[in-house]
């Protein structure tokens, strides 16, 4: 399959994920998605993080589709979806995309499992639901993995700081697999193997996606701008919410959980000791089981 540039190798498993995808158009851009599972089962939406894609959930996928009708996509700018360079990426746009995605399948009510950037998108979806905004998806249950839920506790790594700077465009274009691997080695307490890292790197490089990373990273400043709305949604909602968190995550781990316990009444937190920022990849079986114990 020749979907990547010649500098990137693609694994058989990622190639199969690509071949089994479908696409739809959103605002003139092609979006890659997967839907599979029990036709009469409850609907579950998986929302990936930055800088990866829906492939993040491939370890959970076989078990989840036994219990749910599972929906996931690569958000605009990520993975196998289009990566336009001439747009202003916003969390609200990604929330619109996911709402449109669900409407295509005539789904108005879902459970959500999200991670990282996807947590922020989930918070926006939850805010729309809490405020009964027009065309808002009804969120039945929300299961969050590691993410910057509170702008004041998020600790971006050096690469993220550089991407946010005026030099971000140039930094993104100069990004290398070696630097990418060093970054993941820092945020993951259980190191990902070379194959997994190559898969994630391939997803970034698809459609020459590196320059877009500097545009997508501005979700970090949006977290500050919209903190009241997004944190307020977590505080005010009456739906069940669970946080599954790798505690050794230097970006949004133990310190974020402490803040979560301060701000959220009756917090449901699963603390994964010895696990870092990507719990679904670092310890997939534990994450799958804790998610299944919570989702219905």
- pLDDT of 9: 64
Sheet holding 69-73, edge to edge: 22-26, 29-37, 69-73, 43-47, 109-114, 138-144, 241-246, 269-272
d(CA 60, CA 244): 14
Domain at 226, CATH number? 3.40.50.1820
Tokens describing residue 127:
């805010």
> Could you tell me if residue 3 is inside a domain?
no
Q: Per the domain annotation, does 262 fall within a domain?
A: yes
Whether residue 82 lies inside any domain: the answer is yes
Based on the structure, what is the number of domains in the chain? 1
Residue 12: how many other CB atoms lie within 10 Å = 8
- Any domain includes 272: yes
Answer whether residue 114 is part of any domain.
yes
Contact 53, 73 (CB under 8 A): no
Instruction: Find the range with the poorest average confidence among 81-85, 130-134, 153-157, 259-263.
Output: 153-157
pLDDT at 7 over 60: no
As a whole number of angstroms, the distance between CA 74 and CA 72 comes to: 7
Question: How many residues are present in the chain?
Answer: 296
The answer to whether residue 2 sits within a structural domain is no
Per-residue pLDDT at 159 exceeds 80? no
Q: Is the pLDDT of residue 294 over 50?
A: yes
Q: How confident is the model at residue 166 (pLDDT cuts 50, 70, 90)?
A: confident
Q: By mean pLDDT, which of 1-15, 116-130, 202-216 is the weakest?
A: 1-15
Tokens matching residue 210: 């590196």
* pLDDT at 4 (0 to 100): 46
Q: For residue 21, is it left (φ>0), alpha (ψ between -120 and 50) or beta?
A: beta
Residue 117: exposure state from Cβ atoms within 10 A (0-12, 13-18, ≥19): buried
Domain with 82, as residue range(s), is 12-294
Of the chain, the percentage scoring pLDDT greater than 90 comes to 85
Query: pLDDT tens-digit profile of 223-257?
Result: 999 999 999 999 999 999 999 999 999 999 999 99
129, part of any domain: yes
Please check the confidence at residue 1 and state whether its pLDDT lies above 50: no
Give the E-state strand segments of 186-260 in sequence order.
241-246
- State the Cα–Cα distance between residues 46 and 22, nearest whole angstrom: 16
Residue 164 clears pLDDT 90, i.e. is over it? no
Task: Look at residue 173 and tell me if it is in a domain.
Answer: yes
């Amino acid at each position: 399959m020749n979907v990547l540039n010649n500098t990137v190798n693609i694994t058989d498993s990622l190639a199969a994920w690509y071949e089994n995808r479908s696409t739809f158009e959103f605002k003139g851009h092609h979006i890659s998605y997967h839907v599979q599972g029990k036709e009469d089962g409850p609907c579950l939406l998986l929302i990936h993080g930055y800088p990866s894609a829906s492939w993040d959930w491939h370890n959970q996928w076989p078990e989840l589709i036994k219990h749910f009708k599972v929906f996931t996509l690569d958000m605009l700018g990520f993975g196998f979806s289009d990566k336009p360079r001439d747009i202003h990426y916003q969390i609200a746009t990604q929330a619109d995309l996911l709402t449109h995605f669900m409407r295509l399948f005539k789904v108005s009510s879902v459970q959500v499992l999200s991670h990282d950037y996807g947590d922020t998108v989930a918070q926006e979806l939850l805010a729309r639901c809490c405020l009964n905004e027009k065309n808002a998806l009804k969120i039945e249950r929300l299961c969050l993995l590691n993410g910057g839920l509170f702008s004041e506790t998020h600790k971006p790594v050096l690469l993220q700081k550089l991407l946010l700077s005026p030099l971000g465009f140039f930094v993104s274009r100069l990004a290398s697999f070696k630097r990418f691997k060093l970054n993941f080695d820092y945020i993951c307490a259980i190191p990902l193997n070379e194959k997994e890292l190559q898969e994630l790197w391939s997803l970034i490089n698809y459609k020459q996606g590196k320059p877009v990373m500097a545009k997508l990273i501005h979700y970090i400043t949006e977290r500050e701008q919209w903190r009241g709305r997004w944190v307020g949604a977590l505080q005010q909602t009456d739906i069940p919410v669970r946080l599954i968190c790798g505690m050794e995550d230097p970006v949004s781990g133990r310190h974020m959980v402490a803040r979560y316990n301060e701000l959220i009444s009756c917090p449901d937190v699963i603390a994964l000791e010895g696990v870092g920022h990507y719990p679904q990849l670092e310890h997939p079986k534990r994450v799958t089981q804790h998610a299944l114990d919570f989702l219905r």
